[in-house]
Amino acid sequence: MPWSFFLLKIPHTTGFLAHRGYMDLRLVVLCAYLGSMAGDQLFFFLGRRHGQQWLVRHEGWRAGIERVDRLMSRYGWVVLLGFRFAYGLRSVTPFALGLSGLPAMKFAVFNLVGALIWAVVVGGAGYLFGSTLELFMDRLARYEHLMAAGILAAGVVIWAGRRWLNRRRKA
Question: Each residue's pLDDT tens digit in the chain (171 positions)?
Answer: 344 444 444 566 667 777 777 777 788 888 889 988 998 999 999 999 988 888 888 888 888 888 888 888 899 888 888 888 887 788 889 999 999 889 999 999 999 999 999 889 888 887 777 777 666 666 666 777 888 888 889 989 999 999 999 988 887
Radius of gyration, alpha carbons of the chain? 18
Q: Residue 10, SS3?
A: coil
Q: How many CB atoms lie within 10 A of CB 124?
A: 17
In this prediction, residue 137 carries a pLDDT of 65
pTM over 0.75: no
In this prediction, residue 138 carries a pLDDT of 64
In this prediction, residue 136 carries a pLDDT of 66
In this prediction, residue 7 carries a pLDDT of 41
In this prediction, residue 112 carries a pLDDT of 94
What span, in angstroms and rounded, lies between the C-alpha atoms of 110 and 12? 22
In this prediction, residue 86 carries a pLDDT of 81
What span, in angstroms and rounded, lies between the C-alpha atoms of 15 and 132? 13
In this prediction, residue 2 carries a pLDDT of 40
In this prediction, residue 63 carries a pLDDT of 84
Of 159, 110, 152, 118, nearest to 32 by C-alpha is 118
Structural domain range at position 47: 4-170
Q: Residue 20, SS3?
A: coil
Q: How many domains does the chain have?
A: 1
H or E element, residue 11: helix 11-19
